[in-house]
Structure 1
Amino acid sequence: MSRVCLGEAASINVTGPGTAAPKPRERDFGGGPRPTLADWLTAPGNKWAFRHARELFTSERVGGAPGPAWTPPLHQSPLTEPLTDYLGRSHTDALVVLHDGRPAVEWYAPGVQPDDRHILFSVTKSVVGIVASALVADGLLDPGAPVSSYVPETAVGGYGDATVRELLDMTANIRFVEDYDGPDVRRYRVAVGQLPSANSEGIHAFVCGLPSVGRHGESLSYVSPTADLAAWVCERAAGMSLAQLVSTYVWGPMGAESDGDMLLDHHGAARASGGLCATARDMARIGHLLIGDGPDGAGRSTADLLRPGDRGAWATGTLADFMPGAAYRSFWYQPNGTPDVLLAAGIHGQRIYVDVSRRVVVAQQASLPEAYDHRTWTETLPAFESLARALAGDD
């Protein structure tokens, strides 16, 4: 099986032991001053900020036992010109593809390095889903239990009568509009410390104060604070912080190459809806855990996650038009309505695409100027499917 990579002009060669030490990096903030909390989401400075979030926010280290040494892809055949063009249009910072757990593609934009820890935004939710699935496998978390049995502070709020399963599948019916330019998201960003504020209430207080708008469990309602609460439930169930849980159930089993960062609010609560930072290589390793042949029995720990999602809940939910015919389970999208293909996705272009049967994982990190770009989004899944087919020899 040949390996696929981009042409030399567009890629960074990853070299092995004995290579001369790299020159010190220049601090390039995108042509302007160093980004601050007030403008870190704004281009062009976001390209630097997304790779240096731990310099802007408080964070907790995510560590794990290193796995096998990274083997650079074999440079035998270039990626297609359309895909190369897509990487530019989508402001991609890094693209790493695994096939059978081995590196098949490794590409970095100019100025981006393999050890950069890029913020993953809502891909963090999907990592929480892996943690929750592992806790279910270990008998520490009951998906059918009420949320309030783990977090009594939620008893009088909108989440009080929701179940853990309804959190994980985003079917808790909460009054919150996930409009990244809207007032709800702005209040949320201030509460979690993503925007400057003299009095940030914190994630936990914000979550407990959200009201419900009807019965839970009937349709998907994509609400980022729901993932924050799911992580809080996991922390209470296991008696560990989210960073410790990710270290134990994700970084360790997948053999992470580098530490990660879990961003925190001003009160020390994990930003579980979008605060994990990781290298592109480790991002790809996250996806490979779902193929089920991890060194520490990852297949068992992801079993709850890898069941079919509720297509009916999706069809009547808030994202039905975003990805028709899909399903959702444990913070992972099932684009074709089955767990054969899985997707984790975050704003500004962060994705993990897992084709389970073809054993292909695509990890993408990007710095789109907008939270969501319709044109490049419509190109993303076809591009990743084409990569998977090529590597599996289906084309």
Structure 2
Amino acid sequence: MTRAMCSLNWNQAPHNRYSFQRVQSFFPTARLNRLNAQAFAYSENFQDLSAIEFQRYAGGTGTVAEMIDSSFTDSFLVVKSGAIVSEIYLNNMTPNSHHLVNSVTKSYVGMLCGIAIEQGVLNPEAAIQDYLPELDNDAWEGATVRNLLDMTAGAYYHEDYEDRHTDFWKESAVVGWRPDLLSPQGPQNLLDYAASLSGKDQDNGEKFHYRTVTTNVLGLILERAMNAPLEDLFSDYLWSKLHPSCDANVVCDAAGHLYVGAGLSATTRDLACFGMMMTNRGQLAGEQIVPAAWVQDTLAGDACSNQCYLDSEYSVFGFSHYRNQVWVKDKDKGVMLALGIHGQIIYMDQGKDIVIVKLSSQEEQVNMDMFVDAFNAMDAIASSL
């Protein structure tokens, strides 16, 4: 696939089966450096999980093997208490292959915010204009960092992936994902795009409304609050601390701003390290990386979290809430999710210390059958181990 072809159809089937493993070849990226980190030493306890059954979203039962085979899976990794239970690679992917994780990226941003808050340089209740005075307009008026973290900010922004002219695609145009939507008169980078928004479609704090732009604004705020480029902050405070085996990369705009709403590419095992850190209350390999209280806050939510989620269009999933850029599937069981379109999942079961990573190149951005079948299959795996 040539760079010109990629710019037009790179994330459309069947081309995404190739491009999702090669994003760095097609778009400008910034590197998340593993620095001198020693790769996490997984142990092994392989088991055959293929015949485990689960309830399908459309009715009837299916097996884990059927779910993997029918959902454009590129890799599937199950880890319990640091031991690999199952590891599968398909579509020419290997343990060293990088793969685009789309909105899984957001959960990394949420945890970096927790680090900044513990350091005392970021106030979750502060107005976003305290950090980004450029966003002093009616779209962002009255919004706080907390509204961004929980996606309850009211800025008018629609994320209908099937609409090729929705706000999500207009924003992604500034990082090259939709060059046909970029014009010389329009925004040229992520900050300019956020500043170009006008009006609200809800009150701040009224309900959960999934908006990728809120995560990108958080990334810009982190740079101001922590006074360093975002790729350095991720490398120093998060990525290198997770004992990755490889560097990661994040798509960036012409000004060097990281597209943290959807632009991370990493290896499957390295993504599982993030999941293990979350299931172990912010700790990995004996080091506290993210404050334990922040992970607990993510899992527990606040007095409004559940109702804000129930009032959203995503209530169909039946989750507990959305908090700190993480989906909380079941707060009582301690199950959290990092999710991305086209089938990217990090399943994190704190109660059972189980992490499951599924990377995919599904044809549709959001296929409810495939997503819910994967969730149910992962629940069944967790119950069996």
TM-score class, shorter-chain normalisation, is 0.7 to 0.9
Residue 277 of structure 1 aligns with an amino acid whose one-letter code is S
CA contact (8 A) 1:35 1:45 kept: no
Q: Following the alignment from structure 1 to structure 2, what is the Cα–Cα distance between the partners of residues 68 and 144? A: 37
Residues 99-114 of structure 1 correspond to what in structure 2 (within 5 A)?
99-114=80-95
Q: Deviations over 1:113-143 (max 9, x none)?
A: 1111101100001110111111112222111
Query: What residue in structure 1 maps to residue 203 of structure 2?
Result: 215
CA contact (8 A) 1:349 1:372 kept: yes
Q: Following the alignment from structure 2 to structure 1, what is the Cα–Cα distance between the partners of residues 232 and 332? A: 31
Name the structure, 1 or 2, with higher relative contact order (CA <8 Å, separation 6+). 2
Query: What residue in structure 1 maps to residue 249 of structure 2?
Result: 261
CA contact (8 A) 1:132 1:234 kept: yes
Residue 83 of structure 1 aligns with an amino acid whose one-letter code is V
How does the TM-score come out when normalised to structure 2?
0.88
Query: What residue in structure 2 maps to residue 225 of structure 1?
Result: 213
Q: Deviations over 1:259-318 (max 9, x none)?
A: 000110122211010001100011111111112232364365252243222101111123
SS class of match (2:44): coil
Q: Following the alignment from structure 2 to structure 1, what is the Cα–Cα distance between the partners of residues 349 and 334? A: 6
Post-superposition offset of 1:198: 5.4
Q: Following the alignment from structure 2 to structure 1, what is the Cα–Cα distance between the partners of residues 77 and 174? A: 34
Post-superposition offset of 1:101: 2.0
Asked whether 1:62 is paired with 2:32, we answer yes
Q: Percent identity?
A: 26
- From the superposition, tell whether residues 112 and 72 of structure 1 become closer, same or farther in structure 2 (CA, over 3 Å): farther
Q: Following the alignment from structure 1 to structure 2, what is the Cα–Cα distance between the partners of residues 92 and 302? A: 32
5+ residue gaps in structure 1?
1-28
Q: Following the alignment from structure 2 to structure 1, what is the Cα–Cα distance between the partners of residues 169 and 262? A: 15
Query: What residue in structure 1 maps to residue 193 of structure 2?
Result: 206
- From the superposition, tell whether residues 215 and 76 of structure 1 become closer, same or farther in structure 2 (CA, over 3 Å): closer
Q: Following the alignment from structure 2 to structure 1, what is the Cα–Cα distance between the partners of residues 333 and 326? A: 9
Residue 150 of structure 2 aligns with an amino acid whose one-letter code is D
Post-superposition offset of 1:91: 0.5
Post-superposition offset of 1:72: 6.3
CA contact (8 A) 1:222 1:318 kept: no
Question: Which moves more between the two structures, 368-377 or 150-159?
Answer: 150-159
Post-superposition offset of 1:89: 1.0
CA contact (8 A) 2:31 2:247 kept: yes
Residues 143-158 of structure 1 correspond to what in structure 2 (within 5 A)?
143-158=124-139
5+ residue gaps in structure 2?
53-62
Question: Which moves more between the two structures, 225-234 or 199-208?
Answer: 199-208
- From the superposition, tell whether residues 288 and 75 of structure 1 become closer, same or farther in structure 2 (CA, over 3 Å): closer
Q: Following the alignment from structure 2 to structure 1, what is the Cα–Cα distance between the partners of residues 314 and 241? A: 32
Asked whether 1:44 is paired with 2:14, we answer yes
Question: Which moves more between the two structures, 306-315 or 220-229?
Answer: 306-315
Residues 299-314 of structure 1 correspond to what in structure 2 (within 5 A)?
301-307=291-297, 308-309=300-301, 310-314=305-309
CA contact (8 A) 1:253 1:296 kept: no
Q: Deviations over 1:28-78 (max 9, x none)?
A: x6xx99951101011222111001000001011101233345446344535
| Two-structure CA RMSD over aligned residues (Å) | 2.1
Question: Which moves more between the two structures, 343-352 or 109-118?
Answer: 109-118
- From the superposition, tell whether residues 191 and 359 of structure 1 become closer, same or farther in structure 2 (CA, over 3 Å): same
Query: What residue in structure 2 maps to residue 20 of structure 1?
Result: none
Residues 234-313 of structure 1 correspond to what in structure 2 (within 5 A)?
234-290=222-278, 291-292=280-281, 293-295=283-285, 297-298=287-288, 301-307=291-297, 308-309=300-301, 310-313=305-308
Query: What residue in structure 2 maps to residue 386 of structure 1?
Result: 380
Of residues 80, 99, 109 in structure 2, which corresponds to 1:118?
99
CA contact (8 A) 1:121 1:346 kept: yes
Post-superposition offset of 1:244: 1.6
Q: Following the alignment from structure 2 to structure 1, what is the Cα–Cα distance between the partners of residues 95 and 289? A: 28
CA contact (8 A) 1:171 1:217 kept: yes
Query: What residue in structure 1 maps to residue 60 of structure 2?
Result: none
Q: Following the alignment from structure 2 to structure 1, what is the Cα–Cα distance between the partners of residues 355 and 202? A: 38
Number of residue pairs matched by the alignment: 360
Question: Which moves more between the two structures, 378-387 or 162-171?
Answer: 378-387
